[in-house]
C-alpha cells in the first residue's frame, strides 16, 4: 500500500497538478490539507474517475482537509477530541476549524491534519496551536488502543529539529522551531508513535515546503514541516518513504511537496 500526504494549497487551483500526480505516483491513500473548499465543492467526480473515494472536511474559506482512497473509506471522523476553536476576526464565537479528518482505508487508520500556523510567538494563534496539538495527542491516545495500523499525516507547521529548516538563524524568535512546539511533537510520540522519516533523494535534508518568494525552491531554502507519524503496526511495514520534489516544480504548483510512504502487505 502507498500512502501520502500533501498540502495542496487549494484543491481548485491545484486540480490539474493533483490529477496528474495521482496518475503518476498512484498512491492508494492520500491525505490532503488546505483544500480551501467546502465539502460540497470538492472535485469528487474528477478524482473519482481515477478510482478514488473521498472524505472531505471544509467550509470553503481557508483550511480544509480530505482523505482520498482507492482501497475503501470507512469510519470517517471529522475533528479531534475536544478540539479547540479560534476566535477569528469578526467572529462572535470560538468555532473549531476544519483541520482534521480521519478514515480507515484498506485496514489502515489515517488522520489528515493541518496544524494551525501559530503566526507569532505570544500571539493568540500560537497558544491556539499548542492547545490544538494537545487535542491531537488526546485523540491519538483515544484511538491507539489495539494493534491496527494507525498514522497521522499532514502539515504540522513545525520543523522537528534545527536541521529541518534551511537556516535556523533566519528563524530566531519565530514560530515553527520553538521549544514549546517541538515539545508537543515529543508528547505526540509519547502516545506511542514514531516518525516515518523520508529519505533524501537529492539534498541532505528532505524539505517539504519552500516559500514562493525569493526563489526559495531553486535555492532549496525550505523547511521540513509535512510529517508522518505511525504506530508500530504501521512503521513495521514501511519499505520506503520519500518527498516527491518533482510535484513542486513548474508553474501553478503548491508550495509544498507530497510525502510518500510505501507499506508492505500485512
Catalytic residue among 52, 164, 244, 256: 256
176 flagged as catalytic: no
Spatial contact of 108 and 3, defined as CB atoms under 8 Å apart: yes
pLDDT of residue 168: 97
Residue 152 scores a pLDDT above 90: yes
CA atoms within 13 A on the CB side of 251: 0
Q: How far apart are CA 128 and CA 234, in angstroms?
A: 30
Q: Is 7 annotated as a binding residue?
A: yes
Q: Is 117 annotated as a binding residue?
A: no
Q: How far apart are CA 264 and CA 102, in angstroms?
A: 21
Q: How far apart are CA 210 and CA 1, in angstroms?
A: 28
Residue 93 scores a pLDDT above 70: no
Could you tell me the three cell numbers for 39? 465539502
Q: What is each CA distance from 60 to 10, 37, 39, in whole angstroms?
A: 10, 4, 8
Burial of 47 (0-12, 13-18, 19+ CB in 10 A): buried
Per-residue model confidence as pLDDT tens digits over 37-91: 999 999 999 999 999 999 999 998 789 999 999 999 999 999 999 999 997 766 6
197 flagged as catalytic: no
Which pairs from 123-130 meet CB under 8 Å and 24+ separation? Answer: 124/86, 124/87, 125/86, 126/175, 128/84, 128/86, 129/157, 129/175, 129/181, 130/180, 130/181, 130/184
Fold (topology level) of 2-263: Deoxyribonuclease I; Chain A (3.60.10)
pLDDT of residue 91: 64
Per-residue model confidence as pLDDT tens digits over 179-217: 999 999 999 999 999 999 999 888 889 999 999 999 999
Q: Is 34 annotated as a binding residue?
A: yes
Domain ranges of the chain: 2-263
Could you tell me the three cell numbers for 248? 513542486
Q: Is 57 annotated as a binding residue?
A: no
pLDDT of residue 120: 96
Residue 92 scores a pLDDT above 80: no
Spatial contact of 151 and 229, defined as CB atoms under 8 Å apart: yes
Q: Is 231 annotated as a binding residue?
A: no
Catalytic residue among 28, 57, 114, 226: 114
155 flagged as catalytic: yes
Residue 5 scores a pLDDT above 80: yes
Question: Alpha-carbon Rg of the chain, whole angstroms?
Answer: 17
Catalytic residue among 126, 128, 155, 244: 155
**Nearest-10 crossing angle of helices 124-143, 179-190:** 10
Burial of 94 (0-12, 13-18, 19+ CB in 10 A): exposed
Q: What is the rounded average pLDDT for all residues in the chain? A: 95
pLDDT of residue 164: 98
Q: Is 176 annotated as a binding residue?
A: no
Amino acid at each position: 500500500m502507498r500512502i501520502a500526504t500533501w498540502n495542496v494549497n487549494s484543491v481548485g487551483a491545484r486540480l490539474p497538478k493533483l490529477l496528474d500526480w495521482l496518475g503518476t505516483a498512484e498512491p492508494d491513500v492520500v491525505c490532503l490539507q488546505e483544500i480551501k473548499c467546502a465539502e460540497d465543492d470538492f472535485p469528487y467526480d474528477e478524482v473519482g474517475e481515477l478510482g478514488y473515494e473521498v472524505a472531505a472536511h471544509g467550509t470553503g474559506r481557508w483550511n480544509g482537509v480530505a482523505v482520498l482512497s482507492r482501497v475503501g473509506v470507512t469510519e470517517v471522523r471529522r475533528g479531534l477530541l475536544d478540539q479547540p476553536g479560534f476566535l477569528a476576526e469578526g467572529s462572535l464565537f470560538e468555532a473549531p476549524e476544519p483541520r482534521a479528518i480521519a478514515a480507515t482505508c484498506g485496514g489502515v487508520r489515517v488522520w489528515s491534519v493541518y496544524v494551525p500556523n501559530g503566526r507569532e510567538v505570544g500571539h493568540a494563534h500560537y497558544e491556539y496551536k499548542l492547545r490544538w496539538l494537545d487535542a491531537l495527542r488526546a485523540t491519538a491516545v483515544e484511538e491507539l488502543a489495539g494493534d491496527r495500523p494507525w498514522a497521522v499525516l499532514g502539515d504540522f507547521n513545525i520543523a522537528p529539529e534545527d536541521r529541518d529548516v534551511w537556516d535556523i538563524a533566519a528563524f530566531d524568535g519565530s514560530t515553527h522551531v520553538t521549544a514549546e512546539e517541538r515539545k508537543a511533537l515529543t508528547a505526540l510520540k509519547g502516545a506511542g508513535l514514531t516518525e516515518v522519516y523520508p529519505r533524501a533523494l537529492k539534498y541532505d535534508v528532505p524539505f517539504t515546503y519552500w516559500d514562493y518568494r525569493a526563489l526559495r525552491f531553486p535555492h532549496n531554502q525550505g523547511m521540513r514541516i509535512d510529517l508522518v507519524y505511525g504506530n508500530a503496526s504501521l512503521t513495521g511495514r514501511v519499505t520506503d518513504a520519500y518527498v516527491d520534489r518533482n510535484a513542486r516544480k513548474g508553474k501553478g504548483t503548491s508550495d509544498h511537496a507530497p510525502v510518500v510512504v510505501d507499506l508492505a502487505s500485512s
